[in-house]
């Protein structure tokens, strides 16, 4: 009997999607454990025990100052080296919604250019800004996955028009960066998922809904794949043809791919971090 890979879900005051993220890891074959940020600050070495990491969505610390800012500062100051070490040893990490906002400010995304994690977190080079309409938006949107992405969570996934969609719920999700960084992300295969044509409600540059680091392990996105792991969560699931519900939902497939990698011996995962 194989041992399930252990998945760390990092929680903090205001985060409200940790249970959903843990359920998604569980459904994909991992063993989740939620640990408060404060406990990790006191003992960062606990991160060494996990083969997967999730940074959930919500409103960490009430989004005071700015979305995810306080959580990101704490991570930069207290647990960044432990997280960088985990990524270097091949740990897949997912950061939906507020997790994405935190990850970019904490220096985890878009990650180091040469794939070697520095001891100090980098200055943020991308940002998630206020939606184009300047209001919170809650909707399911169709998405696409670039054929050249190196993201281990999305690479190779096939989508169709009716089931290739994900739910979003945010007020600050407009992806922006400078032209040279955008070109580098596109050229390096770090665009992990885009909003489909006509679905880019927040006004993100290049319709980017999510990116990954150069290794493809760290995945940040504004939609919530953890909210689409069962067909009954699909917004019009009763109207879908039964043949469209024979496989697994898009969100669950993303988690399956990462759990599969996490379950492999480290020497078999070395090709991922060197990609």
Q: Give the pLDDT band of residue 66 (cuts 50, 70, 90).
A: confident
What pLDDT is attached to residue 115? Answer: 65
What are the tens digits of pLDDT across the range 148-184? Answer: 999 999 999 999 999 999 999 999 999 999 999 999 9
Span 234-266, pLDDT tens digits: 999 999 999 988 899 999 999 999 999 999 875
Strand partners, 176: 127
Look up the pTM and report it: 0.95
Instruction: Considering the candidates 97, 151, 199, 234, report the single residue annotated as catalytic.
Output: 97
**H or E segment at 147?**
none
Please tell me the distance from the alpha carbon of residue 62 to that of residue 81, in angstroms, as a whole number. 25
Q: 6-273 belongs to which CATH class?
A: alpha beta
Would residue 170 show up in a list of annotated catalytic residues for this protein?
A: no
Q: Where are the alpha helices (DSSP H) in the chain?
A: 18-27, 37-42, 69-74, 80-88, 98-105, 179-187, 250-262, 266-273
pLDDT for the residue numbered 267: 40
Cα 46-111-48 angle, rounded to 5 deg:
15
Question: In whole angstroms, what separates CA 77 from the centre of its chain?
Answer: 21
Whether 161 sits among the annotated catalytic residues: the reply is no
* 20 contacts 56 by C-beta, under 8 angstroms: yes
Task: Give the pLDDT confidence score for residue 63 in this predicted structure.
Answer: 86
Q: Report whether pLDDT(270) > 90.
A: no
CB 250 within 8 A of CB 166: yes
Q: How far is CA 166 from CA 11, 126, 254, in A?
A: 23, 22, 11
Q: Report the number of secondary-structure helices (H) and strands (E) in the chain.
A: 8, 11
Domain boundaries, the chain: 6-273
pLDDT tens profile 205-228: 999 999 999 999 999 999 999 999
Over the stretch 70-120, which tens digit does the pLDDT of each residue have? 999 999 999 999 999 999 999 999 999 999 999 999 999 999 977 678 778
Is the pLDDT at 272 greater than 70, yes or no? no
Banded pLDDT at 275 (limits 50, 70, 90): very low
Per-residue confidence (pLDDT) for residue 44, from 0 to 100: 97
Q: What is the pLDDT at residue 274?
A: 46
Instruction: Check 20, 172, 199, 226 and give the catalytic one.
Output: 226
Residue from 17, 151, 199, 224 carrying the catalytic annotation: 224
234 an active-site residue?
Answer: no
């Amino acid at each position: 009997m194989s041992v399930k890979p252990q998945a760390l879900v990092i929680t903090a005051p205001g985060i409200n999607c940790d249970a959903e993220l843990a359920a998604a890891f569980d459904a994909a074959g991992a063993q989740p454990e939620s640990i408060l940020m404060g406990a990790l600050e006191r003992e960062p070495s606990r991160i060494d025990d996990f083969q997967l990491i999730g940074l959930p969505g919500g409103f960490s610390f009430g989004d005071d100052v700015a979305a995810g800012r306080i959580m990101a500062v704490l991570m930069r100051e207290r647990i960044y080296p432990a997280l960088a070490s985990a990524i270097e040893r091949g740990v897949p990490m997912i950061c939906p919604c507020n997790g994405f906002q935190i990850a970019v400010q904490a220096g985890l995304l878009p990650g180091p250019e040469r794939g070697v994690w520095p001891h100090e977190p980098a200055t943020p080079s991308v940002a998630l800004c206020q939606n184009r309409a300047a209001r919170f938006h809650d909707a399911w949107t169709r998405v696409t996955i670039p054929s050249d992405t190196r993201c281990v969570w999305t690479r190779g996934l096939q989508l169709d028009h009716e089931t290739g969609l994900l739910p979003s719920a945010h007020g600050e999700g407009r992806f922006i960066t400078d032209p040279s960084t955008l070109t580098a992300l596109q050229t390096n295969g770090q665009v992990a998922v885009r909003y489909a044509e006509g679905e880019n409600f927040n006004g993100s540059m290049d319709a980017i809904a999510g990116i990954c680091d150069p290794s493809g392990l760290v995945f940040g996105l504004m939609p919530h794949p953890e909210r689409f792991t069962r067909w009954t969560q699909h917004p019009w699931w009763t109207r879908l043809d039964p043949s469209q519900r024979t496989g697994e939902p898009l969100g669950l497939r993303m988690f399956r791919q990462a759990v599969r990698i996490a379950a492999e011996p480290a020497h078999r995962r070395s090709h991922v971090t060197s990609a």
